[in-house]
Amino acid sequence: MADNKYVIFKLGSERYGLPIESVERILPAQAVTKIPKTPKMLLGVFELRGTTIPTIDARIRFEMPEVDDSRNFVVILTDAGRCALRVDYVDGIQTFDEEQVDEKTSILEDRNDEMLAGIGKDGDVLTVLLNPSHVVPKNLKGKIAAAA
């Protein structure tokens, strides 16, 4: 039985998880330099130890209302390169064993977006598990790769 560790973050009261091996670091909110004529979801870039990190607003990516009190950036490794997700806050690390992950729910099967990998269940607490390779939408992959 394999256990899978996820970095859990929240957007409002909703819980999301990224595989721990795809998370490079968790940072407090950073000052972001906006890039003109880019999609609203791409907040801009910030500097981290000599490297430019493009930043995506997770709320806009997940089609949720925007707020101004996001407290963390989660730097992740994707197939488009390194980028940061602006999230409300990071809630910690959680382990789900295979029996706690539902990858076969009809909601996931009918989706157009491969970002959703499954639903983690811990009692009555549900966590949407994400596929880091698809967190960056297709229309932004080139911009993220160029900025990263």
Rounded to the nearest 10°, the torsion over CA 63, 38, 27, 138 is 60
Q: What is the pTM of this model?
A: 0.88
pLDDT digits (tens, 9 = 90+) for 13-61: 999 999 999 999 999 988 999 988 888 999 999 999 899 999 999 999 9
What token pair was written down for 30? Answer: 């950073």
3-147 belongs to which CATH class? mainly beta
Q: What distance in Å separates the CA atoms of residue 140 and residue 76, rounded to the nearest whole number?
A: 15
pLDDT digits (tens, 9 = 90+) for 87-145: 999 999 999 998 898 876 666 555 566 888 889 999 999 999 999 988 888 878 787 77
As to burial, measured by CB atoms within 10 angstroms (0-12 exposed, 13-18 middle, 19+ buried), residue 86 is buried
